[in-house]
Structure 1
Amino acid sequence: MTSLTVVVPAYNESDGLREFQRRIAAVFDGLDLDCRVLYVDDGSRDDTYAVMESLRAADPRVSTLRLSRNFGKELALTAGLDHADADAVVVIDADLQDPPELIGQFVQKWREGFDVVYGTRASRAGETWIKKWTSTAFYRVMERMTDLPIPRDTGDFRLMSRRAIDALKLLRERQRFMKGLFTWVGFPQTSIVYDRDPRFAGDSKWNYWRLWNFALEGITSFSSIPLRLATYVGIFSAVIAFVFAIWVFAKALLFGDPVRGYPSLMVVVLFLGGLQLMALGMIGEYLGRTYVEAKQRPLYLIDRFHPAQTVRVD
């Protein structure tokens, strides 16, 4: 029998897990598939894992995986995909902003021959205009800075076929931008447009500082344009400085040099110093990522893994 596993990474999501399980169980009951759900606890500090275990005790289709600490959503998601043994895998957040009821439509597209079916957000309820604007700007910047056609207004909510998952598992980089990796593996992909709901419970774990770092992660993972930009800015600044030097020299020859210009000198020095520090910062971002990759540490460590009780029938 064809199988489907839904991977749900969660960090401090105990308030909404029972409602999520109720809705996902109703979806499973309407599918002619061997369905399972894998909850991944990313080192939660509340009773998220205890709730997951209670759900596993009540439904044999539930499996749980607990990481040894908080590794971040990207690595928690990777851990879930590594342990999802099914013909198709759906990735969805536990906050119920992405409706589980769309999974049936994802499955239909998969059966039509698509290896990746992702949800594209037509609207995003419950989010501030600043967050919506910055999200839109990020996707536009990524689109222009990389050769990778990362879909606009698309999160992690998607279905992937077995061969897409197997291809994704070959990519073991430590600094992971999953939206880019999902696109990088290729294979036939399509989208389903939907309206995103507000969170069912709790607060978002993504503050603006984390979102900024996430954006840097995405850009530096799939684009070297910042390094080229530093080069171009350096060349442009050198040309401007050379022209300015010629002007100063000519002015001194023609009109003398009465020892003036301290403010303008400080402006030029600070401006060029700032450009140099910016370029060094860009280089440092890439160097730091190379350093992390060179250490070859495991992507994550598992505390406990309890597989579902459902037996797959071929």
Structure 2
Amino acid sequence: MNISIVTTMYRSATYLPEFYTRIKKNISKLGLSHEIIMVNDGSPDDSLDVAIGIQQQDPCVKVIDLSKNFGHHKAILSGLSHTKGDLVFLLDCDLEEEPENLEIFYEEWLQGNNEYDVIFGVQQEREGTFYRKIAGDLFYKLFNLVSDQKIPKNPCTIRLMTRRYVRSLLEFKDQNVFLAAMYEKVGYKQKPLAIKKTYKGSSSYNLIKKLTLMMDGVTSFSSRPLLLIMGSGFFIAFLSLTYAFFLVFQKVFFQSVIGGWTSVMVSIWLMSGLIIFSVGVVGIYISKIFNETKNRPISVIRKIYEEGHGDYESVNNR
């Protein structure tokens, strides 16, 4: 099989028919043998019914129905784990990333003469509100500042990957999945490709989810926050010792001690805040270790709808 198309569904019922028509047309234009894998990530609308309707008309379509909403990144890995193609093309089905990009990515990969294992899309400029643009830029700057694993700015979901790259990616058994960093951690030769991504006016990633995603990514791929805590503790201890010597000097030579209830209270609140914050960061790392040691599957598959196999249940997902 030449290529596997993978997409995830969450509130996607209105987009699926057009997405399928356009991606199918593009595949036919390239003359590739293919499969189309649609992963239902616990969508609350009728995305699953629409996808099953498409699957019943096209034997090349496979629908994977997860038992609940596990999150975009875990749903992607669920779809990738069921691919069979020599190449894998991943994209969202909400039409923000145009299905016609398949031809562009495929031609770019052919021109590279097998030099690249990944062609991935990046936005030159983020669409949407001023807040969305600023929040997006700040997210990547902060992540790269505190993380050991650097990631490119404004990466998109859309990417074309070779079979060996996907196989290596699936060898990662992280419970706390942050794909932008995992993509880079896998290695191989990768090439960014600028694309235009439209903004449909809403996003499932609000501020809280973005901050949570950044926290998960940083704590999964970097120990730098722990080093910053240690450095802060050393710095505060040094300042405290210096101030203690200053007070002794004042007492011995000038018979006076600088007092002040306000300064004492400020110091207490500052130290208390730093201690609680440090304990919280350490607690996050401990919780990550706890989750990883459980070795639970990252998602659970309720049913797979596939030509020739009927509907069957499965929990076989990493």
Aligned-partner SS, 2:14: helix
Structure 2: distance between partners of 1:23 and 1:124? 24
Deviations 1:48-79 (A, max 9, x none): 11111112123332210000111111111110
Q: Which amino acid aligns with 2:284?
A: E
Does the C-alpha gap of structure 1 residues 295 and 31 become closer, same or farther in structure 2, counting only changes over 3 Å?
A: same
Q: Is residue 123–residue 194 contact of structure 1 (8 Å, CA) maintained in 2?
A: no
Q: Is residue 64–residue 305 contact of structure 2 (8 Å, CA) maintained in 1?
A: yes
1:155 counterpart residue number? 156
**Runs of 4 or more above 4 Å deviation:** none
Q: Is residue 49–residue 66 contact of structure 1 (8 Å, CA) maintained in 2?
A: yes
Any residues of structure 2 matched to 1:173-184 within 5 Å, and which? Answer: 173-184=174-185
1:197 counterpart residue number? 198
Deviations 1:153-193 (A, max 9, x none): 11221111000011111111111111111111111211211
Structure 2: distance between partners of 1:79 and 1:70? 12
2:62 counterpart residue number? 63
- Percent identity over the alignment? 29
TM superposition shift of 1:149: 4.2
Matched, 1:116 2:115: no
Any residues of structure 2 matched to 1:73-152 within 5 Å, and which? Answer: 73-111=72-110, 112-113=113-114, 114-125=116-127, 127-152=128-153
Q: Is residue 155–residue 179 contact of structure 1 (8 Å, CA) maintained in 2?
A: no
Structure 2: distance between partners of 1:208 and 1:124? 16
Q: Which amino acid aligns with 2:67?
A: S
* TM-score of the superposed pair, with normalisation by structure 2: 0.90
RMSD (Å) for aligned C-alpha atoms = 1.8
Q: Is residue 36–residue 308 contact of structure 1 (8 Å, CA) maintained in 2?
A: no
Structure 1: distance between partners of 2:218 and 2:150? 13
Does the C-alpha gap of structure 1 residues 268 and 149 become closer, same or farther in structure 2, counting only changes over 3 Å?
A: closer
Q: Which amino acid aligns with 1:54?
A: G
1:7 counterpart residue number? 6
Q: Is residue 110–residue 161 contact of structure 1 (8 Å, CA) maintained in 2?
A: no
Q: Is residue 148–residue 224 contact of structure 2 (8 Å, CA) maintained in 1?
A: no
Aligned-partner SS, 2:36: strand
Does the C-alpha gap of structure 1 residues 100 and 308 become closer, same or farther in structure 2, counting only changes over 3 Å?
A: farther
1:72 counterpart residue number? 71
Q: Which amino acid aligns with 1:28?
A: I
Deviations 1:126-172 (A, max 9, x none): x2222222222222333344443422211221111000011111111
1:32 counterpart residue number? 31
Structure 1: distance between partners of 2:247 and 2:95? 64
Q: Is residue 59–residue 306 contact of structure 2 (8 Å, CA) maintained in 1?
A: no
2:315 counterpart residue number? none
* TM-score of the superposed pair, with normalisation by structure 1: 0.91
Aligned-partner SS, 1:95: coil
Structure 2: distance between partners of 1:149 and 1:240? 33
Structure 2: distance between partners of 1:123 and 1:308? 41
TM superposition shift of 1:280: 1.2
Structure 2: distance between partners of 1:237 and 1:10? 50
Q: Which has the higher contact order (CA 8 A, sep 6+)?
A: 1
Structure 1: distance between partners of 2:234 and 2:180? 34
The answer to which of 129-138 and 278-287 deviates more is 129-138
Q: Is residue 12–residue 94 contact of structure 2 (8 Å, CA) maintained in 1?
A: yes
Q: Is residue 31–residue 104 contact of structure 1 (8 Å, CA) maintained in 2?
A: yes
Q: How many correspondences in the alignment?
A: 304
Structure 2: distance between partners of 1:110 and 1:57? 32
Aligned-partner SS, 1:100: coil
Aligned-partner SS, 2:246: helix
Structure 1: distance between partners of 2:148 and 2:250? 48
